[in-house]
Structure 1
Amino acid sequence: MAMTSMTTGAQVPAAAATLAPTPPMGWNSWNSFATTITEEQALETARIMADKLLPAGYDVFTVDIQWYEPDARSYTYNARPQPAMDRWGRLQPAPNRFPSAADGSGFARLAEQVHALGLRFGIHVMRGIPRAAVMQNLPVFGSSGVRAAEIADTSSICSWNPDMYGVAMGRPGAQDWYDGIFRQYAEWGVDFIKMDDMSRPYDAHAAEIEAAHRAIDRAGRPIVLSLSPGETPVTRADHVRRHAQMWRISDDFWDDWGMLEAQFTRLENWHPHVAPGSWPDADMLPLGRLALGERDTRFTPAEQRTLMTLWAIARSPLIMGGDLRHLDDATLALLTNPAVIALNQSSHDNRPHFLKDGLRVWTARSADGVHAWLAVFNLDKEPQDLSVALTDVGLSAAKSATDIWASTALPIAEGRLGKRVEPHGALLLRLV
């Protein structure tokens, strides 16, 4: 198989680079709908996404967890789920929530409508085989008479979700199970899969990660694979980038300053492994209206700019999590700033620098070599006066600077930049 080289000298499959040549951008239902999204809500959101966010590049529309659970509610899980399944135990959209699936066509009709809007269609799935399929001992699609109980590893369970058992990959029929479910997703028209309960503990699940990768290769449709949740161990970077295009670097990320502060170190540790088809994922953007409409983001405006600046310059996927039905002008402007999107999608040589306690500094260069980027973050509770010698960050050739968020010029005096950075705030400069 042809390979694509990375900046560190490591390699990822060329097919992965083709599937996700730039960090995926899109929307995911978890932060705003939890387990409860319906077909009507999905289509309403997809139409808003196509109108408001698609022009900026956000094109992956993803239905998150438990679309197969008729009685899904809130951010908790039913202890004894009764999921919708076909006769082989493959999960189906719950018809009371997704009426177009009632005839057995799964997500095909919803995916068709999402595609017609110019979007790609994604779904969330859990690792393993449904416990309900094992209890009924249903046959495994594509196998030679193997049944669910024969491939289930009932000792391998998710600590926070009761839906699935792991699959014992050494047993006959185990790969058939994964081939069968991914073949179904391909037939539905799925373009993106967020696969949960995979990255932790990583080594315990490595065989199922490989099985999912093989199944996608055989499914007959290009599908981007995103592994969740984290922390994916950095020591397993070579393995994960061979088998997925995105992987979470942390547990679920929400609108909490402590969580945001912790992502700095994780993204710094992962930056050598960023390349086309290889995207460490700092998780969704919890902006705007969240949590079943109960509240707006707790991030201050300064923290929101910090979030967008860090995700952009570290080249994390940009997946909006807030309820688009309540998208306000300020959040829309934050998400769609053309310079920030360009930084995320087309910059290179992105790297952190360590200059002073309480400050985090990143630089990057534009794909055309015309300009460079400098991001400075103030992690303290008080304002900090920034004074950066451009020679210290490899940007000594710069003659002018533009503050992206303020849309103002910033003078360069004797090779130094100076400005006060607000608490928990970010300064993003384009230098020429």
Structure 2
Amino acid sequence: MHRTASLTPPMGWNSWDCYGTTVTEDEILANAAVMSERMLATGWDTVVVDIQWYEPTARAGGYNTDAPLLLDPDGVQMPVEARFPSSAGGRGFGPLADRVHELGLRFGVHLMRGIPRRAVTDPRPVPGTDATTADIALPESHPAARCPWNGDNLGLDFSHPAAQAWLDTQIERIVGWGVDFLKVDDMLFPYHHDAIEALALAITRAEERHGRDVTLSLSPGTDLSVAHVPHLRRHADMWRISDDLWDRWEDIAAQFTRLARWAPHQRAHGWADADMLPLGRIGLRAERGDPRESLLTTAERRTMLSLWNLARSPLFMGGDLPTTDEATLADLTNPDVHAIGAHSTDNGELVRERELIVWGARGTGSHAGSRWAGVFSTADGARTVRVPLTSTGLTSPDLPTPTVITELWSGHRLEIDPADPYATLELALDAHGVALLRAT
């Protein structure tokens, strides 16, 4: 895989948190327009159509049994014309991808592991082989045949050579529409080594044929082990490390432990993904909850963005950008905050004590010489914390003590006496809040 697009953690927008399975072409373009105008300069550059863009009867809040998926003659999924009118005439996502590219953005789609069940029950020839699509699917009785939460597909039987041939056809056709990003689900729980390797091979072949780079994102990440890091790094660009995350503090709090485990493994071309940011206006036609402004407080939103950046997680906004409030958009496009995710190393958890967590990172490249720390309170009420400067990673025996430290969300400057070996930071933190600090 070329994978030049994942030198830093990928950033973008995904339709799932606000539109579930029902997003339309107009909604994709409206979000792309805001991203291009308001967010691209800060690194946000990818727009992703999530699950079931090929399901004519898709609905909010669940999946239909034996859904009538729209397929081409080879069994490859096609966009539903009623929701994506530019796909008429067999053009697939080509016209929509072109319009997204014209905005300076990358275009992505979601796929499920395996082959559509309807292509198996209604067999058709596998291009370039003597087999049919009925020959290459795992039998229903096989434990890897079924996704536990979506019945659209059956797993491919990679002991049959035509299985790779069909997967090559599927991925080549989709990448040929101008797709730059593939989010592929039902890959990691359980961990499907064979499906991951076959998918990576198909993407490499499609990249070579079309002369483009495709970012591969794998989901979901329930109980994903760091034992898989070498295999993941060889075959994917990013991988989820949790189940779906929503706008609940308990979901954010649970990511501290996961990200502490994964942060030492973050580097170019291989990013542990803490999941989408359920911020702004979400739940319009989504899987969970009614239309709402994100239930996360301002403090929790900033804690989330601080932690995701300090841990170098990919960042994918889940809220509807045209109707998202200005304060959230301002936080999403804070260049000082996003410099951490893009230009840092030695990221990790430094302290965890009595509802206090401290993370640190060191700047690289154009930010060499910068050091960052996030001081997080997991307490349910506002409080003032005192943290020794030496516990933040902002100084050490081989680094000079900074005289000024800046809190990046407020812009407030903290004066430090460089001669005081007992210098302590006194920080007023909201419930579930953070002080995100930079010393330069």
Match of 1:214 in 2: 201
How far residue 384 of structure 1 moved from its aligned partner, in angstroms, is 3.7
Contact 1:280 1:316 in 2 (8 A): yes
* Partner-residue secondary structure (3-state), 1:214: helix
Match of 1:388 in 2: 387
**1:403 and 2:400 equivalent?**
no
* Partner-residue secondary structure (3-state), 1:102: helix
Matches within 5 A, 1:98-109: 98-109=84-95
* Partner-residue secondary structure (3-state), 1:429: strand
Matches within 5 A, 1:75-86: 75-86=61-72
Count of equivalent residues: 415
Q: Identity, % of aligned pairs?
A: 47
Match of 1:165 in 2: 154
2:292 aligned residue (290, 295, 301)? 295
Give the distance between the partners of 1:115 and 1:378, measured in 2 at CA: 41
TM-score normalised by the chain length of structure 1: 0.93
Cα shift readout 1:109-143 (whole Å, capped 9, x = no counterpart): 100010001000000100000000001012223x3
Give the distance between the partners of 1:49 and 1:334, measured in 2 at CA: 14
Which amino acid in the other structure matches residue 368 of structure 2?
G
- Deviating above 4 A after TM superposition, structure 1's stretches of 4 or more consecutive aligned residues are none
Cα shift readout 1:290-309 (whole Å, capped 9, x = no counterpart): 11161110101110110111
Which amino acid in the other structure matches residue 369 of structure 1?
A
Which amino acid in the other structure matches residue 399 of structure 1?
T
1:423 aligned residue (406, 414, 431)? 431
* Partner-residue secondary structure (3-state), 1:66: coil
Give the distance between the partners of 2:124 and 2:293, measured in 1 at CA: 44
Match of 2:334 in 1: 337
Which amino acid in the other structure matches residue 324 of structure 2?
L
* Partner-residue secondary structure (3-state), 2:83: coil
Give the distance between the partners of 1:151 and 1:308, measured in 2 at CA: 43
Give the distance between the partners of 1:268 and 1:162, measured in 2 at CA: 34
Match of 1:6 in 2: none
Contact 1:28 1:61 in 2 (8 A): yes
How far residue 371 of structure 1 moved from its aligned partner, in angstroms, is 1.6
1:49 aligned residue (25, 35, 56)? 35
Which sections of structure 2, spanning at least 5 residues, go unmatched? 286-290
How far residue 233 of structure 1 moved from its aligned partner, in angstroms, is 1.7
Cα shift readout 1:253-294 (whole Å, capped 9, x = no counterpart): 110111110000000000111001111000110001111161
Which amino acid in the other structure matches residue 364 of structure 1?
A
Match of 1:179 in 2: 168
Which sections of structure 1, spanning at least 5 residues, go unmatched? 1-12
Give the distance between the partners of 2:57 and 2:391, measured in 1 at CA: 57
Give the distance between the partners of 1:242 and 1:355, measured in 2 at CA: 32
Cα shift readout 1:33-59 (whole Å, capped 9, x = no counterpart): 110011122122211221122122110
Which amino acid in the other structure matches residue 195 of structure 2?
E
1:352 aligned residue (333, 337, 349)? 349
| RMSD of aligned alpha carbons | 1.4
Match of 1:8 in 2: none
**1:315 and 2:312 equivalent?**
yes
Which amino acid in the other structure matches residue 265 of structure 2?
H
Which amino acid in the other structure matches residue 90 of structure 1?
V
Moved more, 217-226 or 188-197: 217-226
**1:94 and 2:80 equivalent?**
yes
* Partner-residue secondary structure (3-state), 1:410: strand
Matches within 5 A, 1:27-176: 27-141=13-127, 143-153=128-138, 154=140, 155=142, 156-176=145-165
Match of 2:303 in 1: 306
TM-score normalised by the chain length of structure 2: 0.92
Which amino acid in the other structure matches residue 425 of structure 2?
L
Contact 1:65 1:125 in 2 (8 A): yes
How far residue 91 of structure 1 moved from its aligned partner, in angstroms, is 0.4
Which amino acid in the other structure matches residue 134 of structure 2?
A
Give the distance between the partners of 1:70 and 1:45, measured in 2 at CA: 22
How far residue 355 of structure 1 moved from its aligned partner, in angstroms, is 4.5
Cα shift readout 1:188-232 (whole Å, capped 9, x = no counterpart): 010000000111101xx1100000000111013311000011122
Give the distance between the partners of 1:371 and 1:217, measured in 2 at CA: 37
